[in-house]
Amino acid sequence: MNVMVVVPTYNERDNLPVLAQGILAHEGFRLLVVDDGSPDGTGQIADDLAAAHPGRVEVLHRTGPRGLGRSYIEGLQRALSTNAELILQMDADLSHDPQYLPALAAAAQHYDVVIGSRYLQGVSVVNWPLHRIFLSAFANRYIRMVTGLSPRDCTSGFRCWRRETLARIPLNRVFSGGYAFLVEMLFHAARDGSRIGEVPIIFVERRQGESKVSSTVLLESLITPWRLRLSSRR
Ligand SMILES: Nc1nc2c(ncn2[C@@H]2O[C@H](COP(=O)(O)OP(=O)(O)OP(=O)(O)O)[C@@H](O)[C@H]2O)c(=O)[nH]1
Ligand SMILES: [Mg+2]
C-alpha cells in the first residue's frame, strides 16, 4: 500500500513524536507534517523525525499567515504531487488514534472518501464536556439540513481519500479556514458523485497542548453551509 498521511501542526511538540510512531508502525504509510512555524519548536521536532526516517517522513514549513485550511490545501496538494494512492488527513493532538488507519484505508476499497466518524454508534467521544457534545451534534445536524450532505460526521478531520477523488476537488477555490473547510471539501466530493463512507472511531480529546478553536472559526461554520447551498444553486 502507498499511503500519505497529512498532519497539520501548530504547537504540538509533545504530541507529534507519539503520533509519528503510531503512523509509521503501519507498513506503506508515510507522514507529511505541515507546520505553521510553531513557536514551541514543533517544526524542528518534525525535521528530526524526517532525518530519523528518511523517505517516510516529510515536512512542509509554512511561512506567512497561519491557518488550518491553508495548511491542508498545501499539504494535500503536496501529497497529490507524490505517487500516493491513498491520502489521509488527521489531527496531531492524538484525538485521532493511528490504530484506525488500516480500517480507513481498507474502507477506501469501497468508497471514494472515508470519514473516521464519531457519530456512527451513538457518540464515541472521550473527555468532552456535555456542552461540547451538544455543540458538535447540533453542528452536524445543521450542516446536513442546510447542505443536504448525508454523513453522520461532516466535521471530522480524520479522513481517507482515494487520490483521484481528492484530485477532482478544486482545492484552490475552497474558501473557508477552520472546520468549515472540512465541510466544504465533503460538499464538493458529494456534488461530484463520490461515494462517501464512514468507519467508527473513538475520538479522545487532547491531553497535551492547547486548542486553537476561535470564535471566528465557529462563526464561519455557521455561515459556510448556507454559502455552499446558495453557490450550488447558481
Ligand atoms: N499548520 C497548522 N495547523 C493547525 C493550525 N491550527 C490548528 N492546527 C492543527 O490542526 C489540528 C486540529 O487543531 P486543534 O487545536 O486540535 O483543533 P480541534 O481538534 O478542533 O480542537 P480541540 O478539540 O480543542 O483539540 C491539530 O493538529 C493542530 O495542531 C494552524 O493554524 N496551522
Ligand atoms: Mg483537537
pTM: 0.95
- Report whether residue 206 contacts ligand 1, using a CB cutoff of 6 Å: yes
Q: Which residue has the cell 484525538?
A: 95
Distance 217 CA to ligand 2 centre (A): 14
Question: What residues contact residue 221 under an 8 Å CB cut-off, 6+ apart?
Answer: 139, 155, 178, 179, 180, 183
Ligand 1 atom 29, closest CA: 9
Distance 206 CA to ligand 2 centre (A): 6
Ligand 1 atom 16, closest CA: 211
pLDDT of residue 234: 67
Ligand with smallest separation from the Cα of 211: 1
Ligand 1 atom 11, closest CA: 91
pLDDT of residue 230: 93
Ligand 1 atom 5, closest CA: 68
pLDDT of residue 212: 77
Please report the atom of ligand 1 found closest to the CA of residue 12. 29
CB 6: neighbour CB atoms within 10 A? Answer: 26
What's the farthest any 2 CA atoms get from each other in the chain?
51
pLDDT along the chain (234 residues), means of 10: 96 98 98 98 98 98 90 96 98 97 98 97 91 90 96 97 97 82 95 97 91 80 93 79
Our CA dihedral for 115, 98, 64, 168, rounded to 10 degrees, sits at: -30
CA distance 186 to 180: 10
Distance 211 CA to ligand 1 centre (A): 6
Ligand with smallest separation from the Cα of 128: 1
pLDDT of residue 172: 86
- Report whether residue 34 contacts ligand 1, using a CB cutoff of 6 Å: yes
The partner residues of 124 in beta bridges, in order of sequence, read none
Output the nine-digit C-alpha cell for 201. Answer: 472511531
- Report whether residue 212 contacts ligand 1, using a CB cutoff of 6 Å: yes
